[in-house]
Structure 1
Amino acid sequence: MVKKAHALAEQAWKTLSSRPIYQNRWLSLCEDLVELPDGRTTIYGVVTSGECAGILPFLDSHTVLLVKQYRYVAKRVTWEMPTGGVHEGESIEAAAQRELSEEIGYQAGRLTRISTYHTSKSVMDETAHLFIGEELASLERPPDETEFIEVRAFPFTDALQMVLQGEIVDGMTIIAMLHAARLRGSSVD
């Protein structure tokens, strides 16, 4: 039985039908009827929100900028790096620069991609693209009208401790901070 289950683990599920349930400008929800690898069918809810970009901005080699804001779904205030959705027709890098501009008023002279991953592999199709932003230049650009944020500079080592102590709870920021620590040879214990 284990051998058969193992073989079925890599077989794609087949979408038999998809029914839209809800849609707004940020996401859509569909209910799919899918055929499983063993021939049975089941209902699967799928949230579609597309791609997003997150940028860990370094003011200098030892200082990062983080934003603090209230997150409605989490029902709490969080510290996180600038993040946001990729608009239709926009490159991932352009989205990253736009989010930096809107949230912290800077543009990065150098963007380094550090990770691309699925934010939720089970019910959401969102793909996150994470960058380190360096060589920041100040910009004059109005903030996003739906964001009410505070921007603060942190020593990178302090921000890393915030991740390790559970003070930073945003998944994109945690992943970016840990990658940045690895790339910079910082200890994460």
Structure 2
Amino acid sequence: MAPVPAPEPFELLETVEAVDARKLRFERNRIKLPMGVEGTFGIIRHPGASLAVPITDDGQVVLLRQYRFAVQARLLEFPAGTLEEGEDPLDSMKRELGEEAGYSAERWDALGPMLPCPGYSDEVIHCFLARQLTPLENPPAGDDDEDLEVLLMSPQELDAQLASGNEWLDGKSITAWFRAKQLLGL
């Protein structure tokens, strides 16, 4: 799997505007691109995230149905979370798997990083396959503002949902599922 592309140099001419929001920062910058073109570009600065495709011992896929304000809908997603400052992506994912789905995992395989929206964000999501799951008796409390439901589906049911379009999966989950299926030989 290819690593995240190495940055190419650009010249920052001016930060026109910067707005801090919950774990994000929006910037409008005047820059000179590597090929010499100048322009104003918006970018969302993101601390990064991690995501897990959890698979139970009997082959069920653990998913979340989560309300997302930006699209005002409930989406199917894999457990994921924003990295805290200096946090290791795998440590973050272990915490999020417990908080969001109520599981711990013994086996972790890297599925590689992904860039979900490189046209306007520097976010990198580190994807993992989580196996040998154990349900937690007393899962740690998650974020107060998360509205989610834990679901179990067979891989065939998940593929059928994707094919039908009856349930929406977000892009990061679709990418991670595709990568996990390759590793699992599905």
State the TM-score, normalized to the length of structure 1.
Answer: 0.86
Residues 90 and 37 (structure 1), Cα distance of their counterparts in 2 relative to 1, 3 Å cut:
closer
Correspondence for 2:185? 185
| Contact 2:47–2:85 (CA under 8 A) maintained in structure 1 | no
The answer to whether the aligner puts 1:115 opposite 2:112 as a matched pair is yes
Correspondence for 2:149? 150
Aligned ranges 1:98-113 → 2 under 5 Å: 98-113=95-110
* SS of residue in 1 equivalent to 2:143: coil
Residues 38 and 65 (structure 1), Cα distance of their counterparts in 2 relative to 1, 3 Å cut:
closer
Question: 1:94: how far off?
Answer: 0.8
CA distance in 2, matches of 1:119, 1:91: 19
Aligned ranges 1:75-154 → 2 under 5 Å: 75-139=72-136, 140=138, 141-154=140-153
Correspondence for 1:45? 42
Q: Which amino acid aligns with 2:119?
A: S
Residues 182 and 35 (structure 1), Cα distance of their counterparts in 2 relative to 1, 3 Å cut:
same
Q: Deviation string for 1:114-157 (max 9, x for gaps)?
A: 12011111110100111111111222222321112111111122
Unpaired runs of at least 5, structure 1: 1-9
Question: 1:37: how far off?
Answer: 4.1
Residues 11 and 77 (structure 1), Cα distance of their counterparts in 2 relative to 1, 3 Å cut:
closer
Correspondence for 2:172? 172
Alignment root-mean-square deviation, CA: 1.8
Question: 1:93: how far off?
Answer: 0.6
| Contact 1:118–1:128 (CA under 8 A) maintained in structure 2 | yes
Question: 1:98: how far off?
Answer: 1.0
Question: 1:90: how far off?
Answer: 1.4
State the TM-score, normalized to the length of structure 2.
Answer: 0.87
Q: Which amino acid aligns with 2:171?
A: G
* SS of residue in 1 equivalent to 2:56: strand
CA distance in 2, matches of 1:157, 1:125: 33
CA distance in 2, matches of 1:113, 1:72: 29
CA distance in 2, matches of 1:39, 1:104: 48
Equivalent residue pairs, number: 177
Largest Rg, 1 or 2:
1
Pick the aligned partner of 1:25 from 17, 22, 27. Answer: 22
* SS of residue in 2 equivalent to 1:73: helix
CA distance in 2, matches of 1:49, 1:108: 27
* SS of residue in 1 equivalent to 2:130: strand
CA distance in 1, matches of 2:97, 2:59: 18
Percent identity at matched positions? 27
